[in-house]
């Protein structure tokens, strides 16, 4: 594509991405639930024997029941950035001296990223949700503004374009994207001498060497407002990706990693709409009454004539020909039947008894569908119903959950790696011409494997089960640590302190009585015994004396606790000596008070038996 030829540009802008409809259908299937839209294709099909007014009413009162389930999954996945092993590491020594200290890649991407402060914030606030909805959307590294001077560093940003914004796309070669923003241009009205404002389109065209922003200035007229020669040799735009779906026209089509939730979410939405109608029909009391009183206005016919002589429905009895005799105070007056006539049943007024069992069944079915949808991504513990537990299987499988979360984390990190790469190229290709030196400036983003996704209720159940089963102390240690991190995720100082306690206690999980027995039998050292008995106090003291204590390695932390244990042991020995001395002194004092117990009597004292 020659971006200098306006004919090529117009042809590109009016292009037609052949796989757009297939990609849009895949995205819409999830977006309808994730964004709380009304799934017309699911709820607006008329049910058998359903009146048209009930069908219309169902659409009117529909609320996005399934949105919460998708939101819970996405919010849980946002915890990826809080994983123990999530990290973005830069090599400060790899930054060339010609790059200003405040303009390094780290300063820009982690502290000065436009609109979001850091690239990580953009990834987890926007990219995560949009990529899970639209796996065929495109991430493009663009420039919102060109540098004002040669000395100014450019500020590239990553932007997500939904598949509906793709005008043309050839993987690895070029892409034409239509912005949701618009521009304004003026057109002359023929014969009137007037000019009117017209909303124009904005397009981004990216190739392996150029980035151009085109704004519409007239019918089939476009002006290149921003032209940037990035010369990366690679297309700075790519599909965000997900699960492989198919490959059509040499183009890969992906489906979202949440696609497995769609069938059950559709069923939940459809049946919830039916439930709403069922509840409305059963929640209101309906009164019935027997009446033999003829309507005085229509004489029991149900029809009257209007001023034009046309026959219309009687407005007083609504065409029934009968009325209820009701006093101003709501007392129904019942005519007693005459001789030979059928008598009015007793009582003549009552309420229709409605069966609510079907509504209860529907409600449970909706809940089950939502839970099954969550189970498709191994997050059924997020359902409203309590976690299922049985002797054969458990509803929560930590390994399967971690596999799913890890796959999402890999997608995010893969996209982040590409964003970092092109950001680095845009900013420093001219300043640092050596490609290897620029590559050394890139951060290493670790794909985490240790996640704290499950809620504390699930973790507590696991912990209680392990305790009851008298699991190995090391297993209990890990479970206690996981629970503390989840429970106190908003108080990292508490979480770190508890983790240090669990990690440094040499007798973790051993009962106090057993500790003493082990000490007496020589199974443990006195130092281990003292540390275990005073672990909480020792860790608190260590953190108070050294704010960086929890970040030290295991051996360094243990040396501190061993020092405290030696002090405690010495203090105990001195206290024992002092107590022994006090007891000895007290014994001598008692001897003196009683004339020296165990000694010969003094000469001037009478011996036993003498007076």
* Tens digits of residue pLDDT in 417-433: 999 999 999 999 999 99
The pLDDT of residue 390 is 42
**Exposure string over 148-181, b if 16+ CB within 10 A, otherwise e:** eeeeebbbbbbbbbbbbbbbbbbeeebbbbebee
Q: Is the pLDDT of residue 159 over 50?
A: yes
List, in order, residues 6 or more apart from 577 with CB less than 8 Å away: none
User: How far is Cα 382 from Cα 364, in angstroms, rounded to an integer?
Assistant: 16
Residue 156 belongs to a domain: yes
The pLDDT of residue 187 is 79
The pLDDT confidence band at residue 388, using thresholds 50, 70 and 90, is: very low
- Residue 385 and residue 367 in contact, taking contact as beta carbons nearer than 8 Å: yes
User: How far is Cα 608 from Cα 459, in angstroms, rounded to an integer?
Assistant: 78
Q: What is the mean pLDDT of residues 11-15?
A: 74
Range of the domain at 341: 287-351
User: How far is Cα 140 from Cα 568, in angstroms, rounded to an integer?
Assistant: 62
Q: Are residues 253 and 275 in the same domain?
A: no
User: How far is Cα 93 from Cα 437, in angstroms, rounded to an integer?
Assistant: 11
Residue 266 has which token pair? 């559709």
Residue 532 has which token pair? 């275990």
| Number of neighbouring beta carbons within 10 Å of residue 407 | 13
Residue 474 belongs to a domain: no
Residue 377 has which token pair? 């991504």
Q: Are residues 312 and 423 in the same domain?
A: no
416 closest CA partner among 134, 129, 123, 33: 123
| Number of neighbouring beta carbons within 10 Å of residue 296 | 10
Q: Are residues 147 and 28 in the same domain?
A: yes
Encode 62-128 in three state secondary structure: CCCCCHHHHHHHHHHHHHHHHCCCCEEECCHHHCCCCCCHHHCHHHHHHCCECCCECHHHHHHHHHH
The pLDDT confidence band at residue 102, using thresholds 50, 70 and 90, is: very high
For the segment 346-372, what is each residue's pLDDT rounded down to a tens digit? 666 666 666 667 778 888 899 999 999
Where a domain ends, among 322, 342, 376? 376
Q: Are residues 415 and 275 in the same domain?
A: no
Q: Are residues 409 and 535 in the same domain?
A: no
Residue 16 belongs to a domain: no
pTM more than 0.85:
no
Sign of CA dihedral 520, 522, 523, 529: positive
272 closest CA partner among 39, 78, 609, 485: 39
Q: Are residues 152 and 247 in the same domain?
A: yes
Q: Are residues 87 and 156 in the same domain?
A: yes
Q: Are residues 26 and 109 in the same domain?
A: yes
User: How far is Cα 395 from Cα 379, in angstroms, rounded to an integer?
Assistant: 9
Q: Are residues 158 and 70 in the same domain?
A: yes
Of residues 231 and 486, which shows the higher confidence score? 231
The pLDDT of residue 56 is 81
Sign of CA dihedral 111, 114, 118, 119: negative
Q: Are residues 528 and 420 in the same domain?
A: no
Sign of CA dihedral 287, 291, 296, 300: positive
- Residue 55 and residue 270 in contact, taking contact as beta carbons nearer than 8 Å: no
183 closest CA partner among 195, 166, 198, 194: 198
Residue 395 belongs to a domain: no
Assess whether the previous peptide bond of 536 is cis (omega < 30° from 0).
no
User: How far is Cα 477 from Cα 535, in angstroms, rounded to an integer?
Assistant: 14
Return the beta strands (E) in 37-173 as ranges: 87-89, 138-143, 156-161, 166-170
- Residue 587 and residue 580 in contact, taking contact as beta carbons nearer than 8 Å: no
Return the beta strands (E) in 156-193 as ranges: 156-161, 166-170, 174-189
For the segment 231-254, what is each residue's pLDDT rounded down to a tens digit? 999 999 999 999 999 999 889 999
Q: Is the pLDDT of residue 434 over 60?
A: yes
Residue 507 belongs to a domain: yes
The pLDDT of residue 458 is 67
For the segment 257-308, what is each residue's pLDDT rounded down to a tens digit? 999 999 999 999 998 888 877 776 656 566 666 666 778 788 878 888 888 8
Residue 182 belongs to a domain: no
Q: Are residues 407 and 323 in the same domain?
A: no
Sign of CA dihedral 234, 238, 242, 243: negative
Give one word for 97, left, alpha or beta, with left for phi > 0 and alpha for psi -120 to 50.
Answer: alpha
The pLDDT of residue 297 is 80
Residue 460 belongs to a domain: no
Q: Domain total for the chain? A: 4
Mean pLDDT across the chain, nearest whole number? 83
Q: At what angle do helices 52-61 and 262-283 cross, to 10 degrees?
A: 110
Q: Is the pLDDT of residue 202 over 90?
A: yes
For the segment 572-583, what is each residue's pLDDT rounded down to a tens digit? 888 888 878 888
Percent of the chain with pLDDT over 70: 81
Question: In 3-state terms, what secondary structure has residue 42?
Answer: helix
Q: Are residues 309 and 168 in the same domain?
A: no
- The alpha helices in 429-489, defined as continuous H runs, are 435-440, 456-468, 473-487
109-113, 330-334, 372-376, 541-545, range with the lowest pLDDT = 330-334
Q: At what angle do helices 526-533 and 512-520 cross, to 10 degrees?
A: 160
Q: What is the mean pLDDT of residues 323-339?
A: 57
Q: Is the pLDDT of residue 456 over 70?
A: no
377 closest CA partner among 453, 465, 448, 463: 453
Residue 584 belongs to a domain: yes
Supply the DSSP symbol for 43. H
């Amino acid at each position: 594509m020659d971006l200098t030829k306006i004919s090529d540009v117009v042809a590109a802008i009016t292009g037609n991405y052949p796989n757009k409809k297939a990609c849009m259908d895949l995205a819409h299937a999830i977006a309808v639930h994730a964004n709380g839209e009304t799934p017309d294709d699911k709820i607006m099909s008329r049910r058998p024997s359903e009146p048209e007014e009930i069908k219309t009413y169902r659409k009117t009162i529909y609320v996005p029941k399934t949105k919460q389930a998708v939101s819970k999954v996405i919010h849980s996945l946002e915890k990826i950035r809080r994983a123990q092993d999530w990290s973005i590491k830069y090599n400060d020594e790899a930054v060339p001296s010609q790059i200003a200290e405040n303009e390094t890649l780290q300063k820009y991407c982690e502290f000065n990223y436009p609109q979001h402060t850091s690239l990580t914030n953009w990834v987890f606030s926007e990219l995560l949700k949009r990529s899970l909805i639209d796996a065929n959307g495109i991430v493009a590294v663009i420039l919102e503004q060109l540098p004002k001077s040669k000395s100014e560093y450019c500020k590239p940003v990553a932007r997500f374009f939904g598949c509906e914004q793709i005008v043309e796309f050839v993987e690895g070669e070029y892409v034409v994207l239509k912005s949701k923003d618009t521009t304004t241009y003026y057109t002359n009205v023929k014969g009137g001498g007037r000019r009117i404002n017209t909303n124009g389109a904005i397009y981004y065209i990216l190739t392996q060497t150029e980035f151009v922003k085109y704004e519409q200035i007239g019918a089939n007229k476009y002006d290149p407002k921003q032209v940037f020669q990035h010369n990366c040799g690679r297309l700075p735009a790519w599909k965000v990706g997900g699960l492989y779906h198919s490959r059509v026209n040499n183009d890969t089509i992906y489906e979202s990693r949440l696609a497995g939730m769609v069938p059950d979410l559709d069923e939940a939405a459809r049946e919830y709409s039916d439930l709403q109608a069922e509840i409305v029909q059963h929640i209101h009391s309906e009164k019935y009454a027997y009446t033999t009183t003829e309507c005085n206005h229509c004489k029991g016919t149900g029809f009257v004539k209007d001023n034009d002589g046309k026959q219309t429905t009687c407005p007083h009895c609504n065409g029934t020909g009968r009325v209820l005799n009701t006093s101003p105070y709501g007392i129904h007056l019942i005519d007693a039947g005459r001789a030979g006539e059928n008598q009015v049943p007793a009582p003549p007024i009552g309420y229709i008894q409605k069966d609510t069992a079907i509504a209860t069944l529907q409600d449970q079915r909706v809940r089950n569908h939502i839970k099954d949808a969550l189970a498709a991504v191994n997050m059924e513990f997020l359902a409203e119903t309590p976690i299922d537990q049985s002797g054969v299987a458990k509803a929560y499988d930590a390994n399967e959950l971690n596999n799913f979360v890890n796959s999402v984390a890999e997608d995010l990190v893969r996209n982040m790696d590409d964003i970092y790469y092109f950001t680095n190229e845009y900013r420093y290709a001219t300043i640092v011409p050596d490609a290897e030196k620029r590559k050394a400036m890139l951060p290493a983003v670790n794909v985490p494997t240790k996640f704290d996704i499950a809620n504390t209720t699930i973790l507590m159940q696991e912990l209680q089960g392990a305790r009851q089963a008298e699991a190995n102390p090391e297993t209990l240690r890990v479970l206690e640590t996981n629970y503390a991190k989840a429970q106190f995720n908003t108080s990292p100082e508490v979480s770190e302190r508890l983790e240090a306690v669990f990690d440094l206690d040499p007798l973790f999980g051993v009962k106090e009585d057993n500790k003493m027995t082990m000490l007496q039998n020589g199974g443990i050292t006195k130092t281990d015994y003292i540390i275990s008995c005073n672990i909480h106090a020792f860790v608190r003291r260590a953190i108070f004396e050294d704010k960086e204590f929890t970040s030290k390695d295991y051996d360094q932390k243990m040396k501190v606790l061993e020092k405290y244990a030696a002090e405690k042991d010495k203090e105990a020995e001195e206290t024992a000596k002092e107590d022994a001395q006090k007891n000895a002194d007290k014994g001598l004092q008692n001897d003196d008070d009683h004339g020296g117990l165990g000694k010969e009597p003094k000469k001037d004292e009478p011996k036993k038996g003498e007076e």
